[in-house]
Structure formats: C-alpha cells, structure tokens
Structure 1
Amino acid sequence: MEKIKVGVIGASGYAGAELVRLLLSHPNVEIGGIYSRSYTGKPISDLYPGFQNVSYLVFDDEDSVIHNSDVIFASLPHGISEKYAKKCFDANKKFIDVGADFRLYDEEDYKEWYNLPYNEKELHKESVYGLSEIYKDKIKDASIIGNPGCYPTSVALAMYPILANTLQSDDHIIIDAKSGVTGAGKELSEGTHFPTINEGFHPYKVAQHRHTPEIEQSLSDFAKKDITVTFVPHLLPVNRGIISTIYCKVNPEITLEAIHKLYCDTYIDHKFVRVLPLEKVSDLKYVTYSNYCDISLHLDKRTNTLIVVSAIDNMVKGAAGQAIQNMNIMYGFEEDAGLNYIPPSF
C-alpha cells in the first residue's frame, strides 16, 4: 500500500511530539513535515533528545508542511486551529485538530467556556467529533476531525453503554478525575512547577473546567436527553495518565454481572477498550504509553450507585493516539496501525 504523507503543526508541544513519536512507527505513513513557530529551522532532537539518531526531522514553515502532506494534525492552543483547518480544507487536505476548536457542536458553548466565537462557521458544519469507538461511521467520511479532550475521552467511553441503554436512574452524574501534569501542556506555570506539584495532590478548576461542556455534550448525545455532570479534576504528581472515577445512580433491579456483560458486549469488537474482569480495578500504570482505555465496574448496592473507573494515557488515547486512530479510520488502515505498544506491567 502506498504511504500517505502527514504533517504535524504544533509539533514542539507535548501532544505534538507524541504524534511524531507514534507516527514514526506507523507502517502506512511518512511524515511530510513538522512545524513550530518558535523552533523553525531546528531539528526536533534538539528539543526532545529521545529523537536523537531516530528522526532527523527539522521544523519547517507551516505552508511547506501543509503542501507536502495529505493529512495535517494540529496540536495548538484553542482559537488557533481554525485558520489551519481553512487552509487544509481549501487545499483538499484532511485535518485533525488535537486542540479544542472543533470539539463543541454549539458555538454558544464555545463562547461561554473559551471566550471566543467561531471565525470559520462553515467549517464546523464539515467537522466530526472524533470519539473513535462511537462515531466510526461518521469519522471515515470526514474531512475535519475534532479530536476529543483527554478527560472527555475517559468519561465518554466509561459511560456510553449505560447511557445508550438508559440504565441510569438519575440524569446527574458525578465525575472525580485525576490527571498527570502533561495534561496542562508544556508551558510552565506556578501550579505545575516541580516544587509545587511534587508530593502534592489537589483539585483544580473546581466546577469550572473547560471540558465540562464537552463531557455533557457526549453523555447527552448517548442518552438522547440532557445529562448534567459535577466534574472535579485533580492534578497528580506524575507525568502521564488519567484515572476517572464516575458515580451514576442505576435502576435497583440491575445486577453488576448484567452491567459487566453489557460492557463486554458493547466493546467486544473495539480493541482499545478493555473491560476488566469483575473485582479488578483500573490503574493508570497499566495503560501508560498505550492507546488503551481500561474500564472497571463496581456497584454500591446500598445506594444503587454504579462506580465506573476509567484509565487512559492522556497523551495517547487522550490526544495523539486517538488522533492517529481517527486517521486510520479515515484512510481505511488497520485501526491499530502505529498503536500496538503494549503498556508495561511494572
């Protein structure tokens, strides 16, 4: 099979560098170019020594990267991706946004949570929300993908079987989630400074995190009615990983065994969602560097509360890995191409 050429805009950031790392091992692609506004002309190995003698890619200008590529990944802060999506769309290039600009269906939600309007409104009619396991049929024909956020991915995959089958007894869901510090991006802040985060553990952006509307959007779509969430993220003193513990009231007559069977049946053909055996608990250690989402199921019979624990690597399944999975779907490649890394067990 002839290889396609891919470009990465924003390749100097954590998610962008992760895209390069994974794409270098992809059997069906060749990297057509990488771009970073701050590092043009410099080799990526100067910035990330892990690429030394592995890749000789040099940061190029944005127009060359787009011209030399069939599909473009953009890993950029919100408010920047639209202009690149427009360039790609006009040039008949596929575009996968790893940032936030194409995740929300409703512009009013984007204005409320990101304080910006949509500048390219027509492009949003062309975009598809890229939750790979759920929207595969739409993804394969899309020209623009809004890659889901890391927290929303962990929550959506955890809750899809329950909500799609109307097994919840309450339309309010509580989410207690924890992320490694790479989720905050490469730019240093007081909250991610080593002396602050080391040996500490704290919630942040309590009841005001920007992933809240995206989470509610997905869960409401699954349930076919409005679902509200109380979402509290926390910052773990680790580099990678997200662990989401989700509390959902369920109908009292349902058993944990029936719920477990439902999850296993739902994801039987989806390699990257691993439903753990009952009594096992998801652990971010066992998904690190991989595209897996591990889900464990627990039931508090006293309160009819289903507790779903979901673990992903925020840089892979929560960002670069899912973006590549979406590219694989778009081009008809094996869905796990370039994503076969087995996470360590110790």
Structure 2
Amino acid sequence: MSKDIKIYIAGHNGMVGSAIWRTLTNKGYTNLIGVSSKELDLKNQQAVTDFISDEKPDVIIDAAAKVGGILANNNFPYQFLMENMQIQNNLLDSAHKFGIEKFIFLGSSCIYPKFAPQPLKEEYLLTDSLEPTNEWYALAKITGVKTCQAIRNQFGKDYVSLMPTNLYGTHDNFDLNSSHVLPAMVRKFHEAKLNNNAPVTLWGSGTPMREFLFVDDMAAAVVFALENKLPDYLYNIGTGEDLTIKDLAETIQKIVGHQGEIIWDASKPDGTPRKLMDISKMHELGWKHQVHLDEGIEKTYNWFLENIENFKEVKYS
C-alpha cells in the first residue's frame, strides 16, 4: 500500500487514535488527517458529510467513541447509546456515499453475550443477551459492526470491524468517574501510596477474569487490517490470555509501589464473569500481540506520572 494514501483517523486524539497515528507515522505514512472534536462534531450529520465530501480520504479508521466504565455506562445510558450510533452512522454513511472503499471500524468485546462460551468467537455475536452494565455501548457498537457487514455484502467494499479486548496504555483516561478498571486502579494505588499507603477500595469480588491488550498492539492490528484485505467482516483483537481482577490489582499495586491494604466492596457489580477472546482468526492471518501485561502496565504508569498535571475530569450531561 502506498505510504501517501490519504487516511482519516476519527478520534485521533484519544488513546487508540493517537496510538494508530503514531504507528502509521513510524511506518512512513505521510498523509494522515485528524480533526479535533471542537473543529468537527462527529455527532452532526451535515458537518460530517461536508467534511468527508471536502477531504475525500482513501481510508477511514473509526477510533472515535464515547467510552467509559461500569459507572458511566450505568449513569448515562442514553448518551452511550445515541452518541456512539450518531458518530459511527455519520462516518459510515458518508464513507459509503462518497465512494470510500476501505473503512476500519473499532468496537469492543462487550458486543458478545454475557454468558457466551469462552473463549469468545466471532460467531457468538447476537446469540444471547448482553451484560446489562454496558449494554447501551454494546448495542451501539453492534449496529456499527452490522452496518459494515451490510455495506461489505451489498456493495463489495472492504469494510472491516475489529473488536479489541480491554485496552489500556499511554493517553488512557484516568478520571475515576469514567475510566475503565486498569487505569482507575493505577490512579487509586498511586494516590493511596502518596497518602501514607492508605487502604484502596475496589469494586466487586475480584473474581471476574479479564484480558488486557496494550494500545500499541491494537494500533498494530489496525495497520495490519489497513495493509491487507481481510477475508471476513469481523475479527477479535486480543492476547488470548486473561487473569482475575484480584491478580490484576496485585500486579498494579506492585508496579506502583503501594504497600497498603486492598478492600473488595462486594456490594458493587462484577460485570461479566469472564471475557476471553478467541483470536485464532487474526493469528492465522499473521497478526499477534507483542507487549506483555507487566511491561504495558509499567509504560502506562510512567506515562501517568509524566502527565498527571494534565488530567481533566470528564463531565456528562
């Protein structure tokens, strides 16, 4: 693929989008487009239509989304459903309308049923009910996956959906009101360490199992999809390895250097018991993750320390 093809990365300032931008730049791609949310509101259909019509990118990578953990999903179901559908529908419709032949849509492993067999295979999509604590986000992402499939089937375009497991890394969201479990733990253990190693209270029982992928590995998967025409419409992206939330907490605690007590608040929800991805389809094509969890957490914590003054609280309305 030519290094000067025009690639629009929606959400290029976010954790995933910025990692994709870095990876493409490091590989020599020179014609990348990124527009901030202040310059372009992706929820505005006319604005998106005008932007895609004017820029005419060769490829669109959709890394834009409204994201958050259990608390944010529970408190703001309408925003998580509607805003994510608006963003992806506007991008997909404009891409199709203006003849863009390649579109890479990013979702989440939460699209799969709560009690689907483990590890999660792509064909389990829509075979049972979703996990209630994130169903609004999941429903939005499912509509994006099926829209890509519909365009692919009806019009023969190379529209593909990549479903990552839990992502973490540099440029993550460390706001305790809206962050996911790993960055929230990093911040909690760090602040407790500074507070004379005060006890840290964590949600749930600690028994659910989760899989985590460093964001640079996700970016590498996106570039793999960019540079190859994948034969199917949906692919899982992960490590194929998981651990309990308790083990994750103890790993982060050790890396951060917190020496206090961990208290588990079992009155809070655990979420899905287990979410391990079957990543055999991507492995067979030639992609595999590179960053081990301990290494990734160390990189994430170092970035957190370097940028701690810049974190902003996320507001919902």
Same-fold call, TM cutoff 0.5: no
Relative to its length, the structure with more helix (as a share) is 2
RCO comparison, higher one (Cα < 8 Å, 6+): 2
Relative to its length, the structure with more strand (as a share) is 1
Normalising by the smaller structure, the TM-score range is 0.3 to 0.5
Per the normalisation by structure 1, the TM-score is 0.38
